[in-house]
Amino acid sequence: MQNDLALEQLTSTLDEGHAGLRPEVTVAVTNGTARLLVDMGYVVLPEFILPNGRRADLAGLGPKGQLLFAEVKSCREDFLGDNKWQEYREYCDLFFFAVSPDFPIDILPMAEGRILADQFGGAILTPATGQQLVAARRKALTFAFARQAANRLFANRL
């Protein structure tokens, strides 16, 4: 029940402001990826604002404090036209691209994790190469994650 409410809020957030080239695919892949991450024990926050001003499509905070980002790509053009994802790596332990089953997976960088997802769920195709965040950065990002999540929760109650 609580996961269903979180996914409903996620879909609402994406419908309001995500500028994908194929918005219906973006929403489906995002929802499926969020379901996968929740099943893996993560709490998920869409459109997580980073200290550098960028927004990670999905941020997951794991049970041991690990930070995972998933960059959702709806089509070839979406991937080729956006190199901002490279600026996200220094703010997470694990980084994934999340794509639909019809995405040309061979164009994604081999060094990054890959998730294949649809609206019902997802699967990790390629594990992410982990990097350990420095403790001070982890603390700051965890605090930012909590504040952004709390602000959204409160904003939905007004």
Q: Indicate if the pLDDT at residue 149 is higher than 80.
A: yes
Tens of pLDDT, residue by residue over 15-41, are 444 444 678 999 999 999 999 999 999
- The beta strands (E) that lie in the chain are given as 43-49, 55-61, 67-72, 94-99, 113-118, 121-126
CA distances from 47 to 53, 69, 110, 145 (A): 11, 10, 24, 11
Q: Quick one: which of 101, 103, 99, 102 has its CA closest to 114?
A: 99
Q: Give the whole-angstrom CA distance, residue 122 versus residue 64.
A: 22
What is the longest distance spanned by two Cα atoms in the chain?
45
* Residue whose structure tokens are 């019809």: 102
Residues near 38 by beta carbon (within 8 Å), at least 6 away in sequence: 3, 6, 44
Average pLDDT rounded to a whole number, residues 79-108: 94
| 157 band by pLDDT with thresholds 50, 70 and 90 | confident
pTM of the predicted protein model: 0.83
Q: Using pLDDT thresholds of 50, 70 and 90, give the confidence band for residue 2.
A: very low
Task: Judge whether residue 77 has pLDDT over 50.
Answer: yes
With a CB cutoff of 8 Å and minimum separation 6, the contacts of 17 are 47
Q: Which of 23, 24, 64 is nearest to 43 (CA)?
A: 64
Higher pLDDT, 140 or 16: 140
- In whole numbers, what is the pLDDT of the chain averaged over residues? 88
Domain coordinates of the chain in residue numbers? 2-155
Q: How open is the CA angle 109-25-149, to the nearest 5 degrees?
A: 85
